[in-house]
């Protein structure tokens, strides 16, 4: 299906952005080449999109072809008493797949409950929460190479995973591969305490001793419902700023200044939301964009007139944090511009 002059604000959870010249939904792998030919014939750039949960549209819109991945499917490739390997269409909603796997008793993705976006976006951003990242259970990514015009698979080690990035959104080949399917391998089992502070508190307050994947999934969803604004009801793009990573020396210096630093998988991390909160910005509104009272890492579009307002609000927040702490925040959502194509949530 092809539509013309579709407002990007209607395609994204941030609800900002002018018209996209063309929008095409891709339901089958075989359709990708057709739409690439269409874009090439018209001399237009291509932008890949899933559910629009991590996209920032600009006021001028996008003079090109937006390819929206709608490839569905859930197939069990291998299953034993202790493990399962599944192949999932990139257009499936991530939270739906998390629920299916958790209900079956497989651990590894329950911490990703309620994260908005598609399965195909998960490896692009290496999505993660509560100590889990998609790379920990990912076996391979199936994609269409839009440059060579052929299918290409990437094993886990070829994906270049790091914090919120991969070869699919970082480096010279960012935006080159249209992810069609993701293969995940999970094991039976359960997580063990202690958990992240907010999750641990919830379990204790509700006297939950069941640490099965489904129990933890429900708990994570409940915590996120309380802590994070729902993009279905409050326009946002999820976490707007990336966390700060420090060397050991920088981390020690930060702690001496009273800055909270936690260590995870050998890395020192400062929560950008904490910095924003400590800068006194929680709940404040700049140019129609509000810093969430629930989670300062999230910016909510209350009544911004467009991207220009969002940009001014972003710079106001970045300036305040840098002035107080010396750290310059980096935006996480992808901006929809020609030449900056990414496959995102």
- Residues acting as catalytic residues: 164, 239, 332
Gap between the Cα atoms of 233 and 305, Å rounded: 18
Q: Is-cis flag, bond preceding 225, omega within 30?
A: no
40: buried, middle or exposed (CB in 10 Å: 19+, 13-18, 0-12)?
A: exposed
Gap between the Cα atoms of 180 and 28, Å rounded: 9
Inter-residue contact 212 to 105 (CB < 8 Å): yes
Catalogue the E-assigned strands of 45-155: 46-49, 55-56, 62-69, 74-79, 83-89, 106-107, 128-129, 132-133, 138-145, 150-155
Q: If you search the block for the tokens 């006194």, which residue do you land on? A: 280
Q: How far is CA 92 from the centre of its chain?
A: 14
Phi, psi of 266 (to 5 degrees): 80, 10
HEC readout, 278-317: HCCCCCCEECCEEECCCCCCEEEECCCCCHHHHHHHHHHH
Local structure of residue 242 (DSSP, 8 states): P
């Amino acid at each position: 299906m092809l539509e013309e002059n579709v407002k990007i604000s209607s395609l994204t959870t941030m609800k900002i952005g002018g018209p996209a010249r063309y929008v095409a939904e891709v339901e089958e792998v075989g359709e990708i080449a057709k739409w690439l030919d269409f874009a090439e014939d018209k001399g237009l750039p291509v932008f890949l999109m899933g559910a629009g949960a991590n996209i920032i549209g600009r006021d001028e819109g996008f003079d090109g072809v937006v390819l929206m991945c709608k490839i569905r499917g859930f197939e069990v490739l291998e299953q034993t008493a202790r493990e399962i390997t599944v192949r999932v269409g990139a257009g499936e909603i991530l939270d739906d797949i998390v629920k299916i796997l958790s209900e079956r008793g497989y651990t590894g993705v329950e911490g990703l409950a309620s994260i908005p976006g598609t399965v195909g976006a998960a490896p692009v951003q290496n999505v993660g929460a509560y100590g889990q990242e998609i790379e920990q259970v990912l076996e391979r990514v199936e994609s269409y190479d839009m440059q060579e015009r052929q299918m290409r698979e990437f094993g886990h080690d070829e994906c270049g995973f790091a914090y919120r990035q991969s070869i699919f959104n970082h480096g010279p080949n960012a935006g080159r591969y249209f992810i069609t399917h993701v293969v995940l391998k999970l094991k039976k089992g359960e997580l063990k305490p202690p958990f992240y502070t907010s999750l641990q508190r919830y379990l204790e307050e509700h006297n939950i001793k069941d640490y099965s994947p489904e129990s933890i999934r429900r708990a994570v969803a409940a915590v996120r419902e309380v802590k994070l604004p729902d993009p279905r009801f409050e326009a946002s793009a999820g976490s707007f700023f990336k966390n700060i990573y420090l060397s050991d020396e920088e981390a020690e210096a930060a702690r001496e200044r009273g800055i909270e630093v936690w260590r995870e998988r050998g890395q020192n991390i400062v929560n950008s939301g904490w910095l924003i909160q400590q800068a006194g910005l929680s709940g404040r509104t700049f140019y129609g964009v509000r810093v969430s009272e629930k989670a300062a890492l999230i910016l909510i579009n209350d009544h911004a007139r467009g991207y220009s307002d969002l940009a001014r609000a972003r710079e106001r927040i970045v300036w305040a944090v840098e002035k107080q702490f010396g750290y310059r925040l980096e935006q996480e959502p992808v901006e929809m511009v020609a030449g900056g194509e990414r496959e995102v949530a």
